[in-house]
């Protein structure tokens, strides 16, 4: 599908959608707790549906009523449970569930899109090789077989925090004292803080015992029921309109949130005020919208950009290709991307969303100013299914065909 914009300004009040990062963690934490838990404020994006599918395949009973999800883990991780987990296009789901699959002592296959399996899995491949576990990767699946035990593990900290989170879930399930040593540099620590916060809500004893060491201690777990907080990652796309002349008030955001993407507000201010140098190694999901805003303002230099190559698309290359159609572009260096000051203009060529939700939303911010169209609008279902409806509610002149 294609979204076609007329130049427009947005006005009104809107709630940020629930946090996808937190929903993944709380749904899995509920299953690990061993108790019936109810979570509200769940948004059924494609990624969250993938995690729900995997939890069901592993024996958890999950029922939904509106935005309320009840998790009954009575049958979770029983030996007879399904040996195939469908991860769709969700990198979080794949990386969170693969260590759990290593706890069965039997082959388990995790399947998804080919693009998903182009993204790095080397951290887990190394873990399997070091422990004598099977790890067989294909174009759209990986089959693993292992008998993971509690102990001390070492993981790289410069690829994705999702690997560390996934291992923590498995170690909490195993129930004995364990530790994870993170090899620096350690990027995206804020996402590990989210994981620790979620697991502690269910009684797990997980904490940092040093700058690069995580401890998991035996602890009884309990039920937790609560509401998923609003998502700063997606709120950034809504707030970006405010920096190009719109007037949008965004609710449902916790000012004390641990979400690392809270930094977007400070980064937006710096981009609007000048030509800053900004490190996005801890907030790579903000890359596309930061590039978009910088292109419409005075430019900026971004460091810590290498991980953008391993997202749903190569996000630096994708944004460069689409900005070039509008008369702009990006400059690439060693782990850096420079956005020069540029004059963007409407083009009759449709922009490509590269089947990447964050590229589609970032380009939508630009097109609200220049006019024009972007395809692959279905990609927003991955994290923010109501994105275009929310824009229309705020007065965006956009049609979807």
Catalytic residues: 285
By C-alpha distance, which of 288, 376, 297 is closest to 342? 297
Beta-carbon count within 10 A of 294 CB: 28
Mapping DSSP to helix (H, G, I), strand (E, B) and coil, where does residue 227 land? strand
By C-alpha distance, which of 311, 306, 324 is closest to 366? 324
* Euclidean distance between CA atoms 319 and 328, whole angstroms: 10
Beta-carbon count within 10 A of 374 CB: 26
* Euclidean distance between CA atoms 302 and 281, whole angstroms: 9
Tell me the pairing of strands 37-40 and 226-227. parallel
Beta-carbon count within 10 A of 339 CB: 27
DSSP for 156-206, please give it: ESSS-HHHHHHHHHHHHHH-S-EEEEEESS---HHHHHHHHHHHHHTT-EE
By C-alpha distance, which of 188, 88, 84 is closest to 144? 84
Beta partners for residue 331, in sequence order: 338
* Euclidean distance between CA atoms 70 and 63, whole angstroms: 5
Residue indicated by tokens 């641990």: 258
* Euclidean distance between CA atoms 190 and 195, whole angstroms: 9
By C-alpha distance, which of 213, 157, 207 is closest to 183? 157
* Euclidean distance between CA atoms 60 and 19, whole angstroms: 22
* Euclidean distance between CA atoms 69 and 66, whole angstroms: 8
3-state helix, strand, coil in the chain (%, to 5): 40, 25, 35
- Structure-block tokens of residue 348: 């009759």
The conformational region for residue 5 under phi > 0 = left, psi -120 to 50 = alpha, else beta, is beta
């Amino acid at each position: 599908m294609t979204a076609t914009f007329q130049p427009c300004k947005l006005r009104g009040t809107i709630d940020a959608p629930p946090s996808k990062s937190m929903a993944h963690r709380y749904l899995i934490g509920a299953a690990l707790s061993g108790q019936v838990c109810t979570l509200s404020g769940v948004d059924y994006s494609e990624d969250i549906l993938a995690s729900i599918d995997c939890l069901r395949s592993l024996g958890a009973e999950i029922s939904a009523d509106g935005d309320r999800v009840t998790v009954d883990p009575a049958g979770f991780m029983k030996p007879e449970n399904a040996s195939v987990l469908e991860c769709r296009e969700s990198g979080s789901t794949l990386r969170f569930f693969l260590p759990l699959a290593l706890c069965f002592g039997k082959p388990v296959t995790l399947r998804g899109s080919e693009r998903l399996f182009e993204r790095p899995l080397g951290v887990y491949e190394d873990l399997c090789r070091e422990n004598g576990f099977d790890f067989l990767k294909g174009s759209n699946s990986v089959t693993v077989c292992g008998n993971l035990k509690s102990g001390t593990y070492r993981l790289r900290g410069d690829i994705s925090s999702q690997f560390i989170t996934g291992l923590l879930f498995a170690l909490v399930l195993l129930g004995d004292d364990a530790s994870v040593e993170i090899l620096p540099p350690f990027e995206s620590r804020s996402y590990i803080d989210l994981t620790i916060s979620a697991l502690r809500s269910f009684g797990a004893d997980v904490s940092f015992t040093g700058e690069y060491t995580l401890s998991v201690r035996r602890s009884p777990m309990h039920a937790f029921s609560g509401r998923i907080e609003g998502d700063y990652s997606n709120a950034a796309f809504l707030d970006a309109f405010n920096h190009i002349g719109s007037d949008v008030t965004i609710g449902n955001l916790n000012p004390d949130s641990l979400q690392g993407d809270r930094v977007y507000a400070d980064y937006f201010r710096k981009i609007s005020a000048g030509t800053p140098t900004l490190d996005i190694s801890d907030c790579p999901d903000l890359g596309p919208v930061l590039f978009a805003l910088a292109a419409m303002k005075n430019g900026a230099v971004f460091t810590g950009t290498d991980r953008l190559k391993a997202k749903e698309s190569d996000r630096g290359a994708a944004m460069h290709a689409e900005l070039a159609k509008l008369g702009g572009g990006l400059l690439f260096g060693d782990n850096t991307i420079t956005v020069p000051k540029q004059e963007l203009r409407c083009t009759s060529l449709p922009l490509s969303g590269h089947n990447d939700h964050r590229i589609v939303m970032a380009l939508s911010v630009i097109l609200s100013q220049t006019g024009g169209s972007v395809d692959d609008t279905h990609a927003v279902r991955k994290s923010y299914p109501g994105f275009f409806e929310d824009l229309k509610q705020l007065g965006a002149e956009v049609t979807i065909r």
